[in-house]
Amino acid sequence: MLQFSFSDKTGRLTESALRAEAAKYAPLLEAVKAQSGLDPMSTGWMEIGRWAGEDTLSNLEALARKIQGDSDAFAVIGVGGSNNAARSMVEALKKEGFPEIVWTGNTLSAHAMEKTLAALRTKDFSIDCIAKNFETLEPGAAFRVLRRLMREKYGETFASRVIATGTIGSSLEALCRKEGYTFLPFPTDIGGRYTALSNVGLLPAAVAGLDIRKVVKGARKMREALYTLPPEENPALLYAAARHLLYSMGYRVEMLCSFEPQLQWFFKWWVQLFAESEGKKDTGLFPAASLYSEELHAVGQFVQEGSPILFETLLDVQDPDGSVPLTPDGAEDGFSYLDGKDYRDLNRAAFAATRTAHSGRLPVVTFTIPRIGEEAFGELFTFFQYACVLSSGMLGVDPFDQPGVEAYKGWMFKALGKT
Ligand code: PA5
């Protein structure tokens, strides 16, 4: 289970200040747990069994087996919340022997689409178009182009390779019924970025060979912990309180960092969750992410000596996969101090050194997780979703809408002649 701690040698974030802030917001934790004051059309993810219960899991596993049997690739069409959770799990945990997951419908670049088409042309593939409203341009355009490729490749039988995940009653469902595509419900009471534990996040993971039951197990475990731990030990409340305190002290950027590149797509999910949920009404911390140790040779300089606008959140993996001994080869390379050590030792040393160096300059929050696996992803999604709702509540913003996103869309639709 994830553990929360922090280190701040500057003395700004203190144990007593954090406890006081958490105590102040203990009623908010109770309100969130009771779903009080939250839009019921956005809280479907809080009851895990509703969109990730036994029927859903069995259906997804059967569908995944069919796709694994007839496809070398599975094109997932979706943008933002419609692909980030699945991508973070699949890119971290994908295995040999399962269809390659191709992420598309997340850009308007012709170059990127040409590359996707070229890659799919030579493979047997299926697609899943994931779109809550089926108005967003990126998935809509990609779906059209890929349907055309499929028709050229498979003739009129191509419909058996098409899945679409949309809301019941939507134009996407109507299209599926008319054209004979498989239709999966997109939760009506969950917004994109909170849909990890539903058809949206779980089908691509199941196709890639991941154990989606473990994802759900991790989510349930985390939910149980967040609902039973007292406020002073509740990691979601403590983390949200720390973010809020630091925001009120003038910090404007939170940088999530890890020493495991496996987590790089999870970072994208986390950035979207907090940016789209909190960044409104001229408030919110800007969520950034960095992969260490590589970025220690770049943004590490800014962290240590640049504008004091950011604090750091480290995601530490206690027992990561992999072991590579640095056995000496007899050459005098100047690295004899590595003899007898493993890459794992180097990464641990880099982690400890970074925390010591950075916490001398800025507050450093640390989350420790035992290992990276399906269960951990279920825990992480659930943990950060609750923390984000709490943190948004402290800022006084609605964590579930994204009115600012509509502004550019309006101008774009106008430019393209959409009526
Ligand atoms: O979190 C959200 O609600 C958004 O990021 C959406 O997921 C994203 O805009 C895609 O929307 P749609 O699934 O309607 O195409």
Tell me: do 154 and 229 sit in the same domain.
no
What is the β-pairing status of strands 364-369 and 3-7?
antiparallel
Atom of ligand 1 nearest to the CA of 272: 5
81 Cβ closer than 6 Å to some ligand 1 atom:
yes
Annotated catalytic residue within 21, 91, 173, 276: 276
Q: Is the CB of 38 under 6 A from ligand 1?
A: no
Identify which of 393, 404, 283 has the alpha carbon closest to the alpha carbon of residue 43: 393
Question: What span, in angstroms and rounded, lies between the C-alpha atoms of 234 and 228?
Answer: 8
Which residue's CA is the nearest one to ligand 1's atom 9?
80
The residue range of the domain holding 66 is 44-210
Is any atom of ligand 1 closer than 6 Å to the C-beta of 161? no
CATH no. for residue 379?
3.40.50.10490
Q: Are residues 203 and 251 in the same domain?
A: no
Beta strands 286-291; 253-258: pairing state:
parallel
Last residue of a domain, one of 170, 192, 210: 210
Residues 93 and 197 in one domain: yes
Task: State the closest ligand 1 atom to the C-alpha of 131, by its place in the atom list counted from 1.
Answer: 13
Do residues 50 and 112 both lie within one domain?
Answer: yes
Has residue 408 been placed in a domain?
no
Query: Which strand (E) or helix (H) includes residue 87?
Result: helix 84-93
Q: Is residue 416 part of a domain?
A: no
Residue 418 domain flag: no
- Verify whether residue 297 is a known catalytic residue: yes
- Per the structure, the count of domains in the chain is 2
Q: In this structure, is residue 409 part of a structural domain?
A: no
Is the distance from the beta carbon of residue 190 to the nearest atom of ligand 1 less than 6 Å? no
Q: Are residues 325 and 355 in the same domain?
A: yes
* pLDDT for residue 1: 86
| Same domain flag for 269 and 397 | yes
C-alpha 257 – ligand 1 centre gap (Å):
25
Q: Are residues 334 and 321 in the same domain?
A: yes
Of 129, 132, 186, the residue with max ligand 1 atoms within 8 A of its CB, to mutate for a pocket test, comes to 132
- Is 144 found in the same domain as 224? no
C-beta of 139 in contact with ligand 1 (< 6 A)? yes
Whether 146 and 164 share a structural domain: yes
| CA atoms lying within 13 Å on the CB side of residue 380 | 24
Evaluate: CB of 79 within 6 angstroms of ligand 1: yes
Is the Cβ atom of 268 under 6 angstroms away from ligand 1?
A: no
Which of 210, 241, 259 terminates a domain? The answer is 210
| Cβ–ligand 1 contact at 242 (below 6 Å) | no
Quick one: pLDDT at residue 419? 83
Q: Which of 111, 297, 305, 332 is catalytic?
A: 297
Which residue is associated with the tokens 């059209």?
A: 144
Q: Mutate which of 79, 87, 392 to test ligand 1's pocket (most atoms within 8 Å of Cβ)?
A: 79
Spans of the chain below 50 pLDDT: none
Q: Is the peptide bond before 58 cis (omega within 30 degrees of 0)?
A: no
- Identify which of 168, 202, 239 has the alpha carbon closest to the alpha carbon of residue 385: 239
Q: Are residues 234 and 157 in the same domain?
A: no
Residue nearest to atom 8 of ligand 1 (CA): 80
Q: Which of 9, 115, 281, 409 is an active site residue?
A: 409
**Structure confidence by residue, pLDDT tens digits, 242-271:** 999 999 999 999 999 999 999 999 999 999
With a 6 Å cutoff on the Cβ, whether 287 touches ligand 1 is no
CA–CA gap between residue 182 and residue 164 (Å, rounded): 6
Q: Is residue 248 part of a domain?
A: yes
Active site residue 418: no
Distance from the alpha carbon of residue 54 to the mean position of ligand 1, in angstroms = 26
> Tokens standing for 399?
């964590």
Atom from ligand 1 closest to the CA of residue 191: 3
Compute φ and ψ for 78, nearest 5 degrees: 175, 155
Residue 177 phi, psi (nearest 5): -60, -40
pLDDT at residue 178 in the model: 98
Give Dmax (Cα) for the chain.
72
Residue 379 beta carbon below 6 angstroms from any ligand 1 atom = no
Answer yes or no: do 203 and 221 share one domain. Answer: no
> In this predicted structure, what is the pLDDT of residue 406?
86
- Of 212, 224, 266, the C-alpha closest to 375 is 212
Please tell me whether residues 189 and 263 are part of one structural domain.
Answer: no
